[in-house]
Amino acid sequence: MNDGNLWYEFSVGAIARNPIYTGTFISQRYTTPSYKNKKHYERPRDEWVVIENHHPAIVSQETFDLVQKLRSMKHRPPKEGERGPLSGLLFCSDCGSALISASGTSKCKYYVCSKYRKASKYFRTECSRHSIQHPIVERIVLLKIQEVLALAQTDKAKFAEKVHKSTNKDNERSIKAKTAEVLKTDRRIAELDKIIKRVYEDRIAEKITEDRFIKMLGDYEAEQAGLTEKSEMFRTEIEGLKIKAANLASFMKLIEGQSEITELIADIARRYVDRVVIHEAVYREGSKNIKESQTIQIFLNCIGEFEQD
């Protein structure tokens, strides 16, 4: 809906979040309680009829995904002042909470773990500061983006090789961890088979009552069913990781026509950065203020944690 040449915000928002412009057709998304009640309710997502590539797209999937990311990060500025360009992209390595902007006594802007920040100063035991100054982390992220774009634009073959190597490294680490979980889960399932067998034998020998038998059997079978589902989920994830490839084509589309980046602004950060994980700093012995080192992991859109040799 528009008034002359002016578009209402909700109309633009409805267009921006509609996947039909990417060539995807969605049906059976809404329903009504009955033919008498015409009020529309959204169905569960797994009940929708989704047909991809149904019609020619006028917006690329990469652009659509970027818009959804930008829309999801719209928040009010904090009391301390303007948000930094990385607001909404920084996360604590220990508790997973977002890092928020704050001001120090010297008026220097820094990011700090939101879980730590919101807790009472007398009960800050669940997490730690994970603080880092705005200029420092912004400079590091800017250098990473510049480094990756320079390689991707000057030597695509070398870049593709490095992306493949980096992605395989991450996949192998995840596969190893999930395989260990599968083995642990399967061992417990096998143990439960033996336990259930003994419970049946005890009931036949009348060592336990019928009520006790039913309760024990129900508990063990419920645990086994949950573990079986968990094991299958891990196996599915492992198979997915084995066939996963870095979306190099999507990243190359992302950087198409990109000129030299000299400043990190919010739009650039969200275009290229998926998330930045901030670890707690290592401080000099005997000091709470002098940092010796701090690990920062930068995950880029489409290609993940890309590392140069």
- 32 and 180 both lie in a single domain: no
Do residues 156 and 252 lie in contact, with contact meaning Cβ atoms separated by under 8 Å? Answer: yes
Is 162 in a helix, a strand, or coil?
helix
Q: Are strands 273-278 and 90-92 parallel, antiparallel or unpaired?
A: parallel
The rounded distance, in Å, linking the Cα atoms of 196 and 287 is 57
Place of tokens 């680490």: 173
- 186 and 210 both lie in a single domain: yes
The rounded distance, in Å, linking the Cα atoms of 300 and 238 is 22
Q: Last residue of some domain: 59, 75, 106?
A: 59
What local confidence, expressed as pLDDT, does residue 54 receive? 75
**Any domain includes 190:** yes
Place of tokens 């919101």: 118
- 173 and 230 both lie in a single domain: yes
The rounded distance, in Å, linking the Cα atoms of 101 and 137 is 12
Place of tokens 């994980």: 277
Q: Are strands 2-3 and 99-103 parallel, antiparallel or unpaired?
A: unpaired
What local confidence, expressed as pLDDT, does residue 18 receive? 80
- 36 and 181 both lie in a single domain: no
Q: Are strands 109-113 and 132-133 parallel, antiparallel or unpaired?
A: antiparallel
What are 264-303's pLDDT values in tens digits? Answer: 998 899 889 989 999 998 888 877 777 888 999 998 888 8
Q: 0.85 exceeded by the pTM?
A: no
- The one-letter amino acid at 101: S
Over residues 117-123, the mean pLDDT reads 68
Question: What is the DSSP-derived secondary structure letter of residue 2?
Answer: E
Q: Are strands 6-7 and 99-103 parallel, antiparallel or unpaired?
A: unpaired
Neighbouring-strand partners of residue 6: 3
Whether the pLDDT of residue 59 is over 60: the answer is yes
**Any domain includes 122:** yes
Among residues 300, 165, 174, the alpha carbon closest in space to that of 239 is found at: 174
| Residue ranges making up the domain that contains 44 | 2-59
Q: How many domains does one find in the chain?
A: 3
- 18 and 28 both lie in a single domain: yes
CA triple 208-209-212, angle to 5 deg: 85
- 174 and 283 both lie in a single domain: no
- 287 and 138 both lie in a single domain: yes
Report how far apart, in Å, the C-alpha atoms of 186 and of each of 177, 178, 194, 235, 238 are.
14, 12, 13, 11, 15
**Any domain includes 305:** no
Place of tokens 């020619």: 56
**Any domain includes 95:** yes
Q: What are 147's two structure tokens?
A: 């480094």
What local confidence, expressed as pLDDT, does residue 81 receive? 46
- 109 and 122 both lie in a single domain: yes
What are 24-44's pLDDT values in tens digits? Answer: 877 777 777 666 666 667 777
- 221 and 188 both lie in a single domain: yes
**Any domain includes 77:** no
**Any domain includes 141:** yes
Q: Last residue of some domain: 248, 264, 286?
A: 248
**Any domain includes 266:** yes
Neighbouring-strand partners of residue 299: 275
Whether the pLDDT of residue 153 is over 50: the answer is yes
- 94 and 201 both lie in a single domain: no
- 279 and 140 both lie in a single domain: yes
Provide φ and ψ at 102, rounded to 5°.
-150, 170
Whether the pLDDT of residue 142 is over 80: the answer is yes
Is 282 in a helix, a strand, or coil?
strand
- 138 and 11 both lie in a single domain: no
**Any domain includes 99:** yes
Do residues 62 and 250 lie in contact, with contact meaning Cβ atoms separated by under 8 Å? Answer: yes
